Homo-oligomer: A and B are copies of this chain.
Amino acid sequence: MQSRLPTTVYLSADDVIRIVQRVGLSRCIAGVAARIERDFLRWPEFDKSARVACHSRDGVIELMPIADAHEFAFKYVNGHPSNTRAGLPTVMAFGVLADVDTGAPRLLSELTLTTAIRTAAMSALAARTLARPECRVMALIGNGAQSEFQAIAFRDLVGIRTLRVYDVDPAATAKLVANLVDQRLDIVVCNSAADAAQGADIVTTVTADKTNATILRADMIAPGMHINAVGGDCPGKTELHADVLTRGNVFVEYEPQTRIEGDIQQMAADFPVTELWQVLAGTAPGRSGDAEVTVFDSVGFALEDYSALTFIRDTAAELGIGDVVELIPHSDDPKNLFGVLDRHTTNTGPAVFA
């Protein structure tokens, strides 16, 4: 009997870099944003749960599962802000797609680069839904690993033309400026977060410190602003003063997870929020007028990774990129796992030729 075990495709970091180079970063961000929007519109079809977090002194490791009737997805992701001092990334990730019907894993992929793309796509999709039309100026506070992706996404999907950038680490800002030199964006380097927010239509905060920080205070907020708060995504890790949250209307991805992890962890359990998918679906109001302040309290939800994984999987298949790996032992008789120990394995000498 032939083994009918479906194959598992592996996409390394190098493979996904190649995919993004071939397709182009703008088209990847737009493609992932389109998938996220499509999947958010079928929100009730997903089996959702808050991610499982393992906290330690310097960071957190999280597992983020989700499934619809056909595909199960999960992401492994860490957050260790002190990593950069040791030459390591703050965020590293990989993920899996599996068949719900059989449990067979079908895709194992890097998700570090992909997470930056999906986070930027999610932010821009939320801003396109919630911000005033005609936003042209964005403050970008926090100029680390995810910042350029936010810049490109907001340029392409929201129409941002000017960035007002600030980071406590001037080297991070210099890196952002160098990376975006040919990207048709006017960049203004600012001296503080307050300076950056001055005159901005949208304020994006994407900082890494695992503290209850106050990156934005109420006095920095102008009427009509949209705030895209990306970095407050863990218990004890916030970016907004509570007064900023009461100043505007707050939108979230998945309320049970955001209550634990988002900037609204500072607020009472009944502090009113709206899940973004309801605005996309037309079942809840978004912005009510040009003077309203809207806040997207983003923490990153498993459904966005599902969307990104399916985009990367389909794009890799179109381009013929990726390797088949034997993560699961193949056996002619599925009840005879013991029998695989009789198998001639590779690299053991003559048996390899048997």
Q: Which of B79, B92, B108 contacts A328 (CB 8 A)?
A: B92
A200: min CB distance to chain B, Å: 22
A329 and B4: CB pair below 8 A? no
A309: min CB distance to chain B, Å: 14
Please tell me if A238 contacts chain B, counting CB pairs below 8 Å: no
B67 and A335: CB pair below 8 A? no
A105 and B76: CB pair below 8 A? yes
A199: min CB distance to chain B, Å: 25
Please tell me if A341 contacts chain B, counting CB pairs below 8 Å: yes
A170: min CB distance to chain B, Å: 12
Question: In the complex where A92-B103, A102-B86 touch, is A341 in contact with B25 (Cβ < 8 A)?
Answer: yes
Q: Which of B96, B101, B145, B347 contacts A336 (CB 8 A)?
A: B145
B residues near A345, Cβ cutoff 8 Å: 14, 17-18, 21
Please tell me if A126 contacts chain B, counting CB pairs below 8 Å: no
Closest residue to A149 on the B side, CB-wise?
B338
Please tell me if A90 contacts chain B, counting CB pairs below 8 Å: yes
Cα distance, A287 to B225, chains bound together (Å):
68
Cα distance, A348 to B105, chains bound together (Å):
28
B105 and A334: CB pair below 8 A? no
Chain A contacts with B in 56-102, Cβ cutoff 8 A? 56, 58-61, 63, 65, 67, 69, 72, 74, 76, 78-80, 83-84, 86-90, 92, 94, 96, 98, 100-102
B residues near A134, Cβ cutoff 8 Å: none
Over the window 142-176 of chain A, the binary record of Cβ atoms lying under 8 Å from chain B Cβ atoms (1 yes, 0 no) is 01111011000000000000000000010110010
A138: min CB distance to chain B, Å: 17
Please tell me if A112 contacts chain B, counting CB pairs below 8 Å: yes
Interface-side segment among A31-39, A46-54, A268-276: A46-54
A88 and B175: CB pair below 8 A? no
Cα distance, A339 to B88, chains bound together (Å):
14
Cα distance, A345 to B16, chains bound together (Å):
10
Chain A contacts with B in 229-283, Cβ cutoff 8 A? none
Q: Which of B14, B108, B327 contacts A326 (CB 8 A)?
A: B14
In the A-B complex, list the 5 residue pairs whose CB atoms are closest, starting with the nearest: A78-B103, A13-B329, A148-B338, A145-B337, A4-B87
Q: Apart from A110-B327, A146-B337, what 13 extra A-B contacts exist at CB < 8 Å?
A: A17-B340, A18-B345, A21-B341, A21-B345, A25-B341, A59-B103, A78-B103, A80-B102, A92-B328, A94-B327, A110-B326, A113-B329, A148-B338
Return 12 A-B CB contacts under 8 Å, by A number.
A4-B88, A22-B348, A49-B52, A56-B101, A59-B103, A60-B103, A84-B335, A88-B104, A90-B334, A92-B328, A94-B105, A145-B336
Point out residues on A near B: beta carbons under 8 Å: 1-5, 10, 12-14, 16-18, 20-22, 25, 47, 49, 52, 54, 56, 58-61, 63, 65, 67, 69, 72, 74, 76, 78-80, 83-84, 86-90, 92, 94, 96, 98, 100-105, 108, 110, 112-113, 116, 143-146, 148-149, 169, 171-172, 175, 179, 325-331, 333-341, 343, 345-348
